[in-house]
């Protein structure tokens, strides 16, 4: 039985639709470190990219992003399984706080991950 391959352009368009975005809203595609290119240039290449998104090794560039005005798609993976993650600019909370700490804390012999509220209350 052969592996099921995913088309990168179809996958990207499906994620955009899922979050109510259209390709007309894409401002640029690329990598923050490497550079950018247009949505049209991305489509031209991505339409021919078929890849195995199951466990194994990442096949799509891990720093690839698709960017809109206040949102973006970024690549994520676990053990080689890969997918797009939709992100939006966070909304600033109404309440301003006084910052005391931002790092993990030790409880007994263990280091415990925690949230800002737990560290600063």
DSSP conformational letter for 95: S
pLDDT value at 102 more than 80: no
C-alpha to C-alpha distance for 101 and 61, rounded to whole angstroms: 34
Give the model's pLDDT for residue 113. 66
Give the model's pLDDT for residue 13. 98
Residue 44: phi and psi, rounded to 5, are: -60, -40
Q: What is the mean pLDDT of residues 69-96?
A: 91
3-state secondary structure of 96: coil
Domain ranges across the chain: 6-88
Helix H or strand E encompassing 40? helix 39-46
Torsion of CA 108, 114, 117, 121, to 10 degrees: 10
More confident of the two residues 72 and 111:
72
Residues 15-73 have pLDDT tens digits of 999 999 999 999 999 999 999 999 999 999 999 999 998 888 889 999 999 999 999 99
Q: What is the mean pLDDT of residues 73-86?
A: 92
Cα angle 28, 34, 36 (rounded to 5 degrees) comes to 15
State the pTM of this model.
Answer: 0.79
């Amino acid at each position: 039985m052969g592996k099921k391959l995913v088309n990168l352009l179809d996958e990207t368009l499906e994620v955009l639709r899922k979050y109510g975005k259209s390709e007309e809203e894409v401002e640029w595609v690329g990598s923050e470190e490497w550079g950018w290119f247009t949505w049209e240039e991305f489509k031209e290449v991505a339409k021919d990219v078929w890849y195995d998104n199951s466990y194994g090794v990442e096949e799509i560039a891990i720093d690839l992003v698709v960017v809109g005005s206040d949102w973006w798609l970024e690549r994520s993976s676990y053990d080689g399984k890969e997918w797009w993650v939709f992100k939006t600019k966070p909304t600033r909370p109404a309440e301003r706080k006084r910052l005391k700490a931002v790092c993990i804390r030790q409880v007994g012999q263990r280091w415990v991950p925690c949230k800002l509220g737990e560290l600063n209350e």
